[in-house]
Amino acid sequence: MSDKIHHGRNIKRFREMMGIKQEALAFELGEDWSQKKISLLEQKEEVEENLIRQVAEILKVPAEAIKSFDEDQVVNIISNTFNDQSNGYNYYPTFNINPLEKWLESLEEIKRLNEEKIVLYERMLKEKDEMMEILKKILEK
């Protein structure tokens, strides 16, 4: 397996953790973007710095998280932590859950806000369509 961090895969991981669809990310990035272009972005091993920063801002995660998150390293650390019994002791780690709980609460709040934003965008698009219909009727008269 490659030692290189896969930026696109990390973008996908964080996007999915935040509950954001590819279409919503494309919308936030601007009119040059589409769901298909996001899909292609998530397949790229290396993503340009400025694009990583834009995506990170939209996903509300540090750009460094996208650039440096390595799932294999995390799995190895966890595996070594729980399976290292070489010192003869039964190792039962003690975790301070509060920071993680706060972080998860923050993620849930961000996810909820993003869902509200999507609902608002959909309502705005519907209202725009209704206004276009009204304008068409006015022009026809």
What is the CATH number for 26? 1.10.260.40
Q: Residues with Cβ < 8 Å from 85, sequence gap 6 or more? A: 91
The verdict on 64 and 121 lying in the same domain is no
Whether residue 107 sits in one domain with residue 70: no
Q: Dump pLDDT digits (tens) for 34-88.
A: 999 999 999 999 999 999 999 999 998 889 889 888 776 665 655 665 554 555 5
* Residue 48 vs residues 38, 53, 54, 71: alpha-carbon distances, Å: 14, 9, 10, 21
For 59, the domain range is: 1-82
For residue 92, tell me if it sits in a domain: no
pTM (2 decimals)? 0.52
Is 52 within 8 Å of 66 (Cβ atoms)?
yes
- The alpha-carbon radius of gyration of the chain (Å, integer) is 21
Q: Which two tokens stand for residue 93?
A: 């780690």
Q: Are residues 72 and 3 in the same domain?
A: yes
